[in-house]
């Protein structure tokens, strides 16, 4: 018998992702009818109230053809709810009972998913431990933000480590649950084609873009205290960078993969007071239009002026043999022109053109890995333009495309959290972030923030609905490259 405990069960993440994901697993027979799903949060609702909230969360998925009303009704029966003030120890005993029934939980597998405010991490862990919910049969998933810098993240990690061993701790970065992100591993390591070229000899630079059209989405306080660097780069983008740049692990198990990722993260060249102005650009959106709709500027949405960045672009380097001299350009922002996440590998030109120096159309190869919303891998190759070519051969770039959605049209598209919750329940850690990775990520980010402070760098305004401040374009064009817009 297994139990799943959801902290923050009435919150946005739970409604949009966690409850639909658990339901998805249940529809596929991956979550038995005997599994108890216990929600907990501060709201004073009862089991019926929680089931009603869950029913509302599942409705759009059922309308989309996931299971049916009968299936959903059976799933809802598995849910129960315990109101809990995280700092009141007595609530944890009720939680223990809801998870374990009247028996002792000894043999039961308990998976806890913690998505609460960082200030509640410590008391929650203490409460769980005091109530006997931290034994070897318990696994704990931790949702970000895990701190706001290296020191506060270490504090949270220490508090968790006081009750749980690293093998029980599942730090979530939901990008790792995305199908297309996992596909990076398949692309790199299940094909022989790329690996020999995957290095400084053949690659001129790498770009990682995570562009969003949304603005604050009501997360005013959280976002203004975080900013784009800590909200997106510290976690998702550095994980993408690590997956692109890591050495081939010997196996796909959690330790082999994470050992390689952490080496990359620890090899990031610090961006500091000396290099922050030339290697980073920050921006904040002002009023504009996105998708034809006028939108407010950030300060207006917030209701006051703020120095928080909603856009960041970086030029990063990985100081190791493989990536010597290869810049990794990263950019992410809110209220940009389009929503897209992608990785571009820009190869070097051929060492010598047999067609002469001035042949028309010659360009270097590119590999474009689109993660969302398109799920596409596109290899840009040179081809001959058909014709008699009296004036010499003419070349043009053509794409070799794999559209994942077409190639796997029969497969249901999963929510990233389905994969993550299933891995948590089954105890597989490959898609979770180890403590040393998180800390290497924070060390890099803290250095950048110190660099901004030392140079009194302020976000540059950019119009909502564009590609961010023009300085971000200059950042890459100075090196004779350009963003893939
Ligand atoms: C979250 C950030 O981690 O990722 C959000 O806090 C951001 O600000 C979101 O919008 C993006 O996730 P996705 O899956 O929509 O790309």
Domains defined for the chain, CATH in brackets: 3-171 (3.40.50.720), 176-412+434-477 (3.30.360.10)
Over residues 445-458, the pLDDT tens digits come to 999 999 999 999 99
Over residues 276-307, the pLDDT tens digits come to 999 999 999 999 999 999 999 999 999 999 99
Maximum Cα–Cα distance for the chain, whole Å? Answer: 87
Tell the residue nearest (CA) to atom 14 of ligand 1: 175
Whole-number Å distance, alpha carbon 37 to ligand 1 midpoint, is 25
For residue 411, name the pLDDT band (cuts at 50, 70, 90). Answer: confident
Tell the residue nearest (CA) to atom 4 of ligand 1: 232
Q: Where does ligand 1 bind, in terms of residues with CB under 6 Å?
A: 212, 231
CA distance 5 to 182: 26
Whole-number Å distance, alpha carbon 412 to ligand 1 midpoint, is 22
pLDDT at residue 295, rounded to an integer: 96
For residue 405, name the pLDDT band (cuts at 50, 70, 90). Answer: confident
Whole-number Å distance, alpha carbon 419 to ligand 1 midpoint, is 17
**Shortest-distance atom of ligand 1 to CA 210:** 16
Over residues 127-145, the pLDDT tens digits come to 999 999 999 999 999 999 8
Is the pLDDT at 404 greater than 90, yes or no?
no
CA distance 175 to 252: 17
For residue 1, name the pLDDT band (cuts at 50, 70, 90). Answer: low
Is the pLDDT at 424 greater than 90, yes or no?
yes
Portion of the chain with pLDDT greater than 70, in percent: 99
**Shortest-distance atom of ligand 1 to CA 372:** 16
Question: How high does pLDDT run on average in the chain?
Answer: 94
User: What is the mean pLDDT of the segment spanning 78-88?
Assistant: 93
Q: What six digits make up the tokens of 198?
A: 């995957």
**Shortest-distance atom of ligand 1 to CA 175:** 14
Q: What six digits make up the tokens of 229?
A: 């660097």
pLDDT at residue 410, rounded to an integer: 85
**Shortest-distance atom of ligand 1 to CA 226:** 6
- Residue of 61, 174, 236, 317 marked catalytic: 236
236 catalytic per annotation: yes
Tell the residue nearest (CA) to atom 15 of ligand 1: 212
3-state secondary structure at position 277: helix
Q: What six digits make up the tokens of 160?
A: 């968790």
Whole-number Å distance, alpha carbon 1 to ligand 1 midpoint, is 33
Whole-number Å distance, alpha carbon 232 to ligand 1 midpoint, is 7
For 246-392, where are the alpha helices, taking DSSP H only?
A: 254-266, 276-279, 298-302
Over residues 362-388, the pLDDT tens digits come to 999 999 999 999 899 999 999 999 999
CA distance 306 to 308: 6
Over residues 209-260, the pLDDT tens digits come to 999 999 988 888 889 999 999 999 999 999 999 999 999 999 999 999 999 9
**Strands of 287-394, DSSP E:** 288-290, 293-295, 311-316, 328-333, 340-347, 366-372, 376-384
For residue 100, name the pLDDT band (cuts at 50, 70, 90). Answer: confident
Burial class of 277 by CB neighbour count within 10 A (0 to 12, 13 to 18, 19+): middle
pLDDT at residue 390, rounded to an integer: 83
């Amino acid at each position: 018998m297994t139990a799943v405990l959801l902290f923050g069960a009435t919150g946005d993440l739970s409604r949009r992702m966690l409850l639909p994901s658990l339901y998805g697993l249940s529809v596929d027979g991956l979550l038995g009818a005997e599994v108890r799903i216990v929600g907990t949060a501060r709201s004073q609702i009862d089991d019926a109230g929680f089931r009603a909230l869950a029913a509302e969360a599942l409705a759009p998925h059922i309308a989309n053809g996931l299971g049916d009303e009968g299936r959903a009704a059976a799933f809802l029966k598995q849910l129960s709810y315990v109101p809990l003030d995280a700092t009141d120890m007595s609530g944890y005993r009720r939680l223990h009972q809801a998870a374990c029934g009247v028996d002792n939980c000894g043999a039961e597998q308990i998976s806890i998913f913690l998505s609460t405010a960082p200030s509640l991490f410590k008391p929650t862990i203490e409460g769980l431990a005091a109530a006997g919910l931290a034994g070897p049969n318990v696994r704990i998933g931790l949702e970000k933000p895990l701190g706001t810098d290296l020191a506060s993240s270490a504090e949270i990690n220490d508090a968790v480590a006081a009750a749980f061993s690293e093998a029980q701790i599942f730090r979530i970065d939901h990008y790792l649950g995305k199908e297309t992100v996992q596909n990076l591993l398949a692309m790199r390591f299940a094909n022989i084609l790329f690996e020999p070229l995957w290095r400084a000899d053949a690659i001129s630079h790498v770009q990682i873009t995570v562009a969003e059209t949304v603005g604050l989405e009501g997360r005013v306080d959280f976002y203004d205290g975080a900013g784009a660097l800590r909200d997106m780069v510290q976690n998702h983008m550095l994980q993408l960078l690590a997956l692109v740049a890591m050495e081939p692990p010997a196996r796909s198990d959690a330790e082999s993969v994470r050992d390689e990722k952490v080496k990359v993260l620890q090899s990031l060249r610090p961006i500091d007071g000396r290099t922050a102005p030339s290697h980073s650009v920050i921006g904040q959106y002002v009023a504009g239009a996105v998708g034809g709709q006028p939108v407010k500027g950030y300060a207006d949405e917030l209701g006051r002026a703020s120095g928080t960045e909603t856009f960041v672009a970086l030029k990063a380097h990985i100081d190791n043999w493989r990536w010597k001299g290869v810049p990794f350009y990263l950019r992410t922002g809110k209220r940009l022109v389009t929503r897209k996440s992608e990785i571009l590998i820009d190869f070097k030109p051929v060492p010598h053109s047999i067609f002469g120096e001035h042949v028309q159309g010659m360009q270097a190869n590119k590999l474009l890995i689109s993660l969302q919303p398109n799920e596409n891998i596109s290899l840009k190759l040179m081809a001959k333009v058909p014709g008699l070519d009296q004036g010499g051969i003419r070349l043009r770039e053509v794409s070799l495309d794999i559209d994942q959605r077409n190639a796997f049209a029969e497969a249901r598209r999963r929510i990233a959290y389905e994969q993550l919750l299933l891995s948590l329940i089954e105890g597989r850690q490959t898609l979770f972030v180890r403590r040393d990775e998180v800390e290497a990520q924070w060390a890099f980010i803290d250095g950048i923030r110190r660099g901004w402070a030392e140079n009194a760098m302020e976000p540059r305004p950019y119009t909502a609905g564009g590609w961010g401040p023009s300085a971000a374009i200059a950042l890459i064009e100075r090196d004779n490259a350009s963003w893939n817009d």
